[in-house]
Structure 1
Amino acid sequence: MIAFAVCSVLCLLGLSLAAIGMRDIRAASAIVYGASGVLCAGLVVVGLRVLATQADAESMRVPVGLPWLGAHLQIDALAAVFLVLLGTGGAAASLYAIGYGRHEHAPLRVLPFYPGFLGAMTLVVLAADAFTFLLSWEVMSLLSWAMVLTHHREEETRSAAYLYLVMASLGTMMLLLAFGLMAGAAGGYEFAAMREAERSPGVAALVLGLMMVGAGSKAGLVPLHVWLPVAHPAAPSHVSALMSGVMTKVAVYGFVRVAFDLLDPVVWWMSVPVIVAGAGTAVMGILFANVDADAKRILAYSTIENIGVIFAALGLALAFRANGMDVLAALALTAGLIHAMNHMLFKSLLFMVAGAVLTATGRQDLDALGGLIHRMPKTALLALVGVTAIAALPPLNGFVSEWLLFQAVLQSPNLTQPGLQFLVPAAGGLLALAAALAAACFVRFFGVIFLGRPRTNMARDAAETDRWSLAAMAGLALLCVLAGVVPGLLIDLIAPAIDLVLGARMPAQADNAWFTLVPVAEVQSSYSGFLVMVFVAISGGAAAAAVYRFSSRRTRRAPAWDCGFPDADPITQYGAGSFAQPIRRVMAPMIAARETVIMPPPGDMGPARHSVVTEDLAWTRLYLPLSALVGLAATRLNALQFLTIRRYLALVFASLILLLTGLTIWN
């Protein structure tokens, strides 16, 4: 299996090099995206086989990289879970791109980087030493940065790409420090050596903090999220689907690998920052999604929310593990990994929907759309599946993972520390608030885009998207339904990965009647997505039949009612701002929302004006002052360029003394 996976990576990297010399754009798109999809499907097969057979870890050493180290690669159950996730998302995005790529204005700015990006993410998952992991991580960051910069002639795109590059560099530096601490003075850069090393709780806490910053900056944890809402909308839609659905999960993989596999079992208080950061990120992400009016930026903010849910689950798993409650830790970790897979499915689907709408209308601002359910009925149906899943409504997959997480939260009284007994239910309340806001957000998202009347001529004249795009979206929608109706199969599939890092797993679910999910005990909690689906189908069908049978058959038409004035202008409909206003006003302190109303006095013929400004406090209170400080320091340090030779030698000597002193203290 490891050999096949490595060959797939080499083929993806080779495909990137081959794409540079291709001149026939149409043929190049079909070849590059088609081959990438096939190779990603192969990765899915590899991951499924490792999980289904519960095979032992396979390793390989490739004689490249550092001379004394080489590149160590390995597939175990945890890597296999993320290979399935990566391969599924990559195959769907590649299939979608065959059609969507025909509408891309600069396809040759994407094609050389796309397969390499997939290959680099795969290498991160396969890496079994720090050097290979960090090198692959950096290549992944640089190739995704190049694709964010596709529409480089736009000022917003250049700014987004620059910010992404800065945050990616920060994350890589933190990862480098974390792996350096785990390797220790002996320099054991292989993961196997890191597992065996002994560390004090202080060093373990520092490593965990560095991993939260390093992996969290790539995943989108608040306040490290500032690049994500600008970079994801700037990239082409199939790249946005990969970055949001897959790349953020590679960051989650890095955190899980270190926190649950390479570090010693952490002390309970180390889980507190993870839980707090996760719950806070979930609420802040979905708040900004509710008040934004750009379709792709809404989806990017929603990714931040879902990353928060995943990290909250991981923090809860760390807390249970520190207390020796391995079965409950397995429940929380299962919820986190299942939600990572579910988010890949429905978020990739929704970014593809946004791309299809952008292709058909040329617009992605909600208030320029409307009525697309009549012009793009197939896309609208698939979008409905996606928004139902992401809103965590049964019987789709988003509900399953969040329900599992809340089952773990309800077990928090079993924790022995009073601080955790208070913190976990409070975090659960924040997660429940985030879930409610997510439902409101995507009612607005679907309603403003697809329902009502077209607000612009572009929306009125839209046409259905191509067959390739529809096929990719339909495949993801089907997986959303299956993962929600028969979740037990997915839970049993990833159980070997949970067992690998915790030594425990959830009870087997495959043999439960009616595909019932029983996470703890049947008398305490159970859920059957299949029975919920049957109930929804029967009750919905019966209601529709009753309405059709007993309602009046005479069609009645009248002008739209608008506060007493019949007005057919589509601008009188509720828009994105209309839906967002109640939430924006209630949550104004958290998002620094300011409304300004200018109402001219009687007799003044000037126009009335209403403006709304929201502010990301992390950007204005943290990053802008930090940027100003860095600029000031750089200006002051500029004097170092004009020193004499004697002063340069003195600086070198002082630096050498400082390094030797640090090395002595370390030893």
Structure 2
Amino acid sequence: MGFVVSAIAFLFVMAATGVAARRLPSVPTIVYGGSAAACAIVVLWAAATLAGGGGVAEGWVLPIGLPWIGTHLRADALSAFFLLIVNFGGITASLFGWGYERAHRDSHAGPVLPLFPLFLAAMNMVLIADDAFAFLVSWEFMSLASWLLVLSTHREEGTPRAARLYLIMASFGTACLLLAFGLLATAHGDYSFDAIRAQAPSVSAAAFCVVLVLLGAGSKAGLVPLHVWLPLAHSAAPSHVSALMSGVMTKVAVYAMIRVLFDLLGEPAWWWGGVMLGFGALTAVMGVLYALMQEDVKRLLAYSTVENIGAIVIALGLALVFKASHTPVIAALALTAGLLHVANHSLFKSLLFFTAGAVLTATGSRDLGRLGGLIHRMPTTAVLALIGSAAISALPPLNGFVGEWLLFQAILNGPALPEWSLKIEIAVVGAALALATALAGACFVRFYGIAFLGRPRSRAAGEAAEVGAGMRLGMAVPAALCVALGVLPTPLIRLFEPAVRLMVEAGPFDDRAYQPWFWLAPTSAIGNSYNGLIMLAVIALLSVLLVLVIHRRASDRVRLSIPWGCGFDGPDPAAVTQYTASSFGQPIRRAFGSTVFRARDEVEMPEPGDTRPARLTVRWTDPAWALLFTPVGVAVDRLAERANRLQFMTIRRYLTLMFLALVVLLVMVAVTQR
């Protein structure tokens, strides 16, 4: 525990260094190197803690915060796992950020340098907070630090709007969590987590807490329909900050859900998981459909995070349902799938945001319509981006496949539940998750094919060059782990097994002592098993055989012909006539867009003889804006306009309002004391 607190203090020192020595040429190396070192200390401590069975050191109580309780700090097995995730992401982001700042020295290095370690420190503080006051202060500190990091690119179009919306949603989420902890503390007013665990809330209070936590933490994670801020803010921030926000900060929100729903609220009711299953399925499908509509690379990746958060929430909902039904082994399987997907998503999403930053650095653009052919000019980045795209598409033998496989094993156990409504819901959720997984594959075939294959669609793409060593190292580390955890996932699963046992009071495998370390065979997986080494060997063998057959059967004769250029006779008609991001996604847009997104295709066709080009314009809207946020915004504006009249009242009316407010408060106190 002392190592974690010392690392947080050192991150504050790095932030002060970024401010005091911001004009020194070596300050990016000092800040990013120091941040990586602090995160490495926490990673080693968390790994050692989990490997030792999740033993918890005695908690700390600091004489600051609320006068009657102070500030409680503690790190149990669940905190240790998320500390591992957050700080490993901090290491890779520091490596990439060092190279990224060197390449963008004249743009936004000044404001980012002191805020980057503050953001890391705030996320660590959330994970070790052991009372509601420390948790909420750290949560708000995390939100403000990330908001300022988004504002570091304030000169770019759209950034001020993204930052304003993010701040509004962050404030809304904090307010919901504040009310939830207020209900958990009850009339005793003891906000320490130990005291909250000791007194179970009433059924109605627990129900309100579930809703408030889903709203508060779900808005930070990106649950639909509270996701609208996420693609704007994550795409506006610098790329290594985007990787932290999308790959790491959303996991802190997942931690908040697990901490409250699995730990502080006591024994769950079955409907808690049912609500989470519904929101998770909606989020997964809508998130990937949003991603398929995007031509901005970073916005595509941000919407993909929404889809993956949906899959994680589905796993948490399954775990709650099975825990409430007193089947802890299957609940442990579902929670294991969720935590494994937390780790996997932090790796491949950070990797993909890093590759987006590398492409932006090399070409100056993140528009898919201006990329293409980068596999020849950025070969290392292209290979690493291919690994990330395959991993997020859940292709074996990479880590994304293992997490999805375990999640489907938990879904297949749905018939073991006593409630028929849950059996039907889990079947529907399984179909929605399968649809989301298939669409994710199409989304990243589109991303990789348009960005890295084909011909360059702009001069900048044709003249791109590979990025520096620091950025390549920052991408290579998570890429290597995407492969390693896909082939050998069992060591990681057994590492965070103490966290699973702590939350559901059971282990994920009854027969783990009899299984080899390279074989994943949970007893609750209905006889199924997974061996990454065998999968890798089979895929490699089939690939070699395919190459041999192609070389043996294919003709080696050179054939010369004039390709049809669709009417274009320029120097490189293939660059103009190849697939675009919009044309690739058109069938899916036609299938879903008219109903889900209200998409409209507007065609401008000149008259015969007119030499002007024809134009196709696609317009679509996020239904969350039309159905929720726009009406709420209009209502708030009207309410603010009416409330503005209060500042023009007389003194007598002010005194009357104060008297009425005092009477209302006294009535509320009298009612609550009964």
TM-score of the superposed pair, with normalisation by structure 1: 0.97
Question: Residue in 2 aligned with 1:534?
Answer: 537
Q: C-alpha distance in 1, partners of 2:227/2:54?
A: 37
Question: Residue in 2 aligned with 1:639?
Answer: 645
Q: C-alpha distance in 1, partners of 2:539/2:558?
A: 28
Deviations 1:545-598 (A, max 9, x none): 333345344444544444698773212110100111000000011122111123
Question: Residue in 1 aligned with 2:27?
Answer: 28
Indicate the larger mover: 25-34 or 70-79.
25-34
| Residues 663 and 558 of structure 1, relative CA distance in 2, 3 Å threshold | farther
SS at match of 1:574: coil
8 Å Cα contact 2:410-2:525 kept in structure 1: no
Question: Residue in 1 aligned with 2:16?
Answer: 17
Q: C-alpha distance in 2, partners of 1:43/1:613?
A: 47
Question: Residue in 1 aligned with 2:108?
Answer: 106
Matches within 5 A, 1:477-496: 477-496=479-498
For structure 1, the residue ranges without an aligned partner over 5 or more in a row are none
8 Å Cα contact 2:566-2:577 kept in structure 1: no
The equivalent position to 1:582 in structure 2, one of 583, 587, 593, is: 587
| Residues 247 and 364 of structure 1, relative CA distance in 2, 3 Å threshold | same
Deviations 1:62-97 (A, max 9, x none): 222222222111011000110110111000000111
8 Å Cα contact 2:372-2:454 kept in structure 1: yes
Question: Residue in 2 aligned with 1:49?
Answer: 48
Pairs aligned (count): 666
Question: Residue in 2 aligned with 1:294?
Answer: 296
Q: C-alpha distance in 1, partners of 2:337/2:558?
A: 49
Question: Residue in 2 aligned with 1:240?
Answer: 242
Indicate the larger mover: 99-108 or 138-147.
99-108
Question: Residue in 1 aligned with 2:143?
Answer: 141
Question: Residue in 2 aligned with 1:83?
Answer: 83
Question: RMSD across aligned C-alpha pairs, in angstroms?
Answer: 1.6
SS at match of 2:66: coil
Q: Which amino acid is 1:81 matched to?
A: F
Q: Which amino acid is 1:91 matched to?
A: I
| Residues 65 and 523 of structure 1, relative CA distance in 2, 3 Å threshold | closer
The equivalent position to 1:623 in structure 2, one of 610, 626, 629, is: 629
Shift of 1:665: 2.0
| Residues 9 and 522 of structure 1, relative CA distance in 2, 3 Å threshold | closer
Q: C-alpha distance in 2, partners of 1:24/1:611?
A: 47
Structure 1 residue 572 and structure 2 residue 569: aligned?
A: no
8 Å Cα contact 1:560-1:566 kept in structure 2: no
Shift of 1:177: 0.3
SS at match of 1:154: coil
Shift of 1:198: 2.0
Q: C-alpha distance in 2, partners of 1:571/1:351?
A: 27
Deviations 1:392-440 (A, max 9, x none): 0111000111111111110001111111011011011000000000000
Matches within 5 A, 1:92-103: 92-103=92-103
Question: Residue in 2 aligned with 1:124?
Answer: 126
Indicate the larger mover: 18-27 or 227-236.
18-27
Q: C-alpha distance in 2, partners of 1:55/1:175?
A: 27
Structure 1 residue 663 and structure 2 residue 669: aligned?
A: yes
Q: Which amino acid is 1:209 matched to?
A: V
Matches within 5 A, 1:360-379: 360-379=362-381
Q: Which amino acid is 1:56 matched to?
A: G
Identity %: 51
SS at match of 2:67: coil
Deviations 1:83-134 (A, max 9, x none): 1101110000001111111122120110110001000000000000000000
Q: C-alpha distance in 2, partners of 1:437/1:424?
A: 20
Q: C-alpha distance in 1, partners of 2:277/2:627?
A: 23
Q: C-alpha distance in 2, partners of 1:427/1:521?
A: 19
8 Å Cα contact 2:54-2:499 kept in structure 1: no
Shift of 1:484: 0.6
Deviations 1:430-482 (A, max 9, x none): 00000000000000000000000001000000000111111111110111011
Shift of 1:658: 1.3
SS at match of 1:26: coil
Indicate the larger mover: 537-546 or 232-241.
537-546
Indicate the larger mover: 621-630 or 306-315.
621-630
SS at match of 1:527: coil
8 Å Cα contact 2:501-2:507 kept in structure 1: yes
Deviations 1:458-513 (A, max 9, x none): 00000001111111111101110111111111111111001011110111657534
Q: Which amino acid is 1:212 matched to?
A: L
The ranges of structure 1 where at least 4 consecutive aligned residues each deviate by more than 6 angstroms after the TM superposition are 564-567
Q: C-alpha distance in 1, partners of 2:146/2:200?
A: 36
Question: Residue in 1 aligned with 2:409?
Answer: 407
Matches within 5 A, 1:498-517: 498-507=500-509, 509=512, 512-513=515-516, 515-517=518-520
Q: C-alpha distance in 2, partners of 1:634/1:238?
A: 38
8 Å Cα contact 1:287-1:591 kept in structure 2: no
8 Å Cα contact 1:201-1:266 kept in structure 2: no
For structure 2, the residue ranges without an aligned partner over 5 or more in a row are none
Q: C-alpha distance in 2, partners of 1:251/1:514?
A: 31
Q: C-alpha distance in 2, partners of 1:466/1:131?
A: 43
SS at match of 2:61: strand
Q: C-alpha distance in 2, partners of 1:190/1:334?
A: 27
Q: Which amino acid is 1:583 matched to?
A: I
8 Å Cα contact 1:369-1:449 kept in structure 2: yes
SS at match of 1:169: helix
Q: Which amino acid is 1:33 matched to?
A: Y
Question: Residue in 2 aligned with 1:276?
Answer: 278
Q: C-alpha distance in 1, partners of 2:559/2:32?
A: 50
SS at match of 1:595: strand
8 Å Cα contact 1:488-1:509 kept in structure 2: no
Shift of 1:542: 2.3
8 Å Cα contact 1:396-1:483 kept in structure 2: yes
Shift of 1:656: 1.6
